[in-house]
Structure formats: structure tokens, C-alpha cells
Amino acid sequence: MMGLPMEAREVKKDDIVHSFPTMDVLKAWHSGEEAEWPPPDADDAIDDETPAEDFKLPDLRFEINQKVQCRIGPDPVTGWASGIVIQLWYKESTWPPNSWAPYKILLDDGRSIFAPGDVDQIIRKDINFP
């Protein structure tokens, strides 16, 4: 899971550095390459078969079908793509236990991606959509 289990005012730079994809991962995603994120997690409290709705996950800012912009590249101005949220608490079968992405997004260009965290640096309300 990429959400930070704390209030925004409690977040420190170190929390973000350890939770946000590295620049190398962002560059790989931007160029359409595969990159492993999130890194493997040793916490095995919940098995892969447990659906997200069977336990308490943090509330999210966006809903299914909501128009958003996602960070797909390293440039803070041009590295964004518009799309819609198609799934909450997304998980791939190859991810370690307890690893969830807050959102799966269908981009306007047809690509399907996930947002590894629910923060404005990764996913934000689409500024071009009323």
C-alpha cells in the first residue's frame, strides 16, 4: 500500500522519499518500460487472496469514474496525463502481500496504469475538467 498512514501535517520528507517511486522508476514508466514498484515488502500479515474490501484501508480522495491527471514522467510540468479512475485499491498478483495501489487509471490515450500513492505529486484532480 502506498498511502501514508498519518495526517498530512505529520508527514516528513523522509516519509515521502521512502514511499514515492524513485526517479529511475518514473523515467522507466515514462518511456513505457517495466519498473518494479513498490519494492518487495516483508510484511505478510494479509495474504494475496484477501480482497481490499475485507479489511480497513484508508479513505481515498477520488472515486471510480472521476477525471484525474497522473504523473507519468519526471518533468513536473509536462509529465502528466489525463484519465479516469477505474478501480480503487488495485493489486497485481505478483505484488507482495499487503501491497496495494490506491488507484487504477485508464488514461485518455488508452493505457492503463496505477497510481502508487494518493498524493498530489502522483495523482491530482484533472485541472482541464470542470
- The residue among 2 and 87 whose pLDDT is bigger is 87
Kindly report the pTM of this predicted structure. 0.59
Is 50 exceeded by the pLDDT of residue 42?
no
Is 80 exceeded by the pLDDT of residue 10?
no
Is 50 exceeded by the pLDDT of residue 24?
yes
Query: What is the pLDDT confidence band of residue 43, given thresholds at 50, 70 and 90?
Result: very low
Using alpha carbons only, what angle is made at residue 41 by residues 80 and 115, rounded to the nearest 5 degrees? 15
- The residue among 127 and 44 whose pLDDT is bigger is 127
What's the pLDDT score for residue 111? Answer: 96
pLDDT tens for 68-110 read: 999 999 998 899 999 999 999 999 988 887 788 999 999 999 9
What's the pLDDT score for residue 57? Answer: 74
pLDDT tens for 60-77 read: 999 999 999 999 999 988
